[in-house]
Amino acid sequence: MNQVPGDEVPWWSQPLPTSTTPATSTPATSTPAMSTTPLASARPKLPILFMLALALVAGVLGGGVGYFAAQYSDDRVTSDVRGPFTDTSDGRALTTSTSTIERAPGSIAGIAARVLPSVVSISTESNAGSGTGSGFVIRSDGYILTNNHVVADAANSTGSITVQFNGGKSISAEIVGRDATYDLAVIKVNLTNLKSLVLGDSDKVVVGDSVIAIGSPLGLTGTVTTGVVSAKDRPVSAGGRFDSQNSFINAIQTDAAINPGNSGGPLVDATGAVIGINSAIASMSSSRGQSGSIGLGFAIPINQAKRTAEQLIATGKSSHPILGVSLDLQFAGPGARISTLPGAVVTGGPASEAGLLSGDLILSLDGRNVANAEELIVAIRSHAPGDKVKISYVRAKKTIEVTVTLVAAPAN
């Protein structure tokens, strides 16, 4: 698909002819190229050997955790010794110890205990097959937030959606609204008095913050993993095979283990507040199928997700901010160059009103350097229609700064 004058070149479109620039990563020359993989997964059928391996790992971990607790317990752990007991086989006395652990509300266990009741596993059935993903309750009257690619198959064919809560209760769900641009969807179950999660402020997240990812990787419900925020503002893509587009995400990067099936689950901070929605993982482009976690997971910032969810609940649709230009995806950077095709700057649009012209090279938005067209797109999409942004650009070797008021994209 060639550029369509009058809007940003959609990231899901093909670049200008002969372009081979990847939209999601800049691989190091010493390693294979990497791409991002959406995390909804086909429902797994665990082979016997895999189940045995899981059992073995669980046994090994159990011993390790016991040793860790014994060696690193604090003054909130109390212990008493019961016994002796007699082993009737040889008469030797056995001693057993029981511990009462007072887990602080801010501990990983304490946070998980509060969050898990609001996290759900989502199963879909459609003509395309079955799949699983995750989601979480955002309103007590049954509204659940997840990724669009988790439910897209069921929405675009004769399909069904089933939600399973952490306690095991299952119930059917309906789609309230979907937004493929941001890879978000809201579904609803016919239940009330649900426990909703607290939504945090993703703008306040900093690199190094501790985080917890919760979801249903590989269909294993209620899985909790931990890590830190590795980076912010990563332009990555995610999306489903039935959508005409993927989604550029201005993502939070984390090293918490995230795998297929985690899509739509919450990424929470050290207070238990949701700061992101787990959506994609990095994988080697040469690998076949979906790979597991390699310590590079990506989440949609909750501030963006909250705006979109509120719109979907209110109207079933959401709006997206645009600059009103077409970008040249063949341009290697640094910066994002406005296309020289006719109509690349929409007459009367935000960029036009601010004086931008075809061929201008945009270097930054609100002080954030722009390496390429994809970074500019995600930077714009992190805002809302009506927001004013400062754009720095170069024309004829002269750097110019202007203020632009973003507008909503025309409805499809």
Q: Rounded to 5 degrees, what angle do the CA atoms 254, 178, 405 make?
A: 80
Does the annotation count 149 as an active-site position? yes
Strand boundaries in 60-104, DSSP class E? 77-86, 93-101
Sign of CA dihedral 401, 406, 410, 412: positive
The number of angstroms, rounded, from the C-alpha of 12 to the middle of its chain's C-alpha atoms is: 18
Residue 236 tokens read as 């990555």
**Of 35, 41, 134, 149, which one is the catalytic site residue?**
149
Q: Is 38 exposed, middle or buried (0-12, 13-18, 19+ CB in 10 A)?
A: buried
The whole-angstrom separation of Cα 401 and Cα 65 is: 56
Neighbours of 265 (CB within 10 A): 34
Does the annotation count 320 as an active-site position? no
**Of 7, 153, 179, 183, which one is the catalytic site residue?**
183
Q: Are the CB atoms for 165 and 256 separated by under 8 Å?
A: no
The whole-angstrom separation of Cα 36 and Cα 148 is: 16
Q: Are the CB atoms for 214 and 112 separated by under 8 Å?
A: yes
**Of 263, 319, 326, 364, which one is the catalytic site residue?**
263
Active site residues: 149, 183, 263
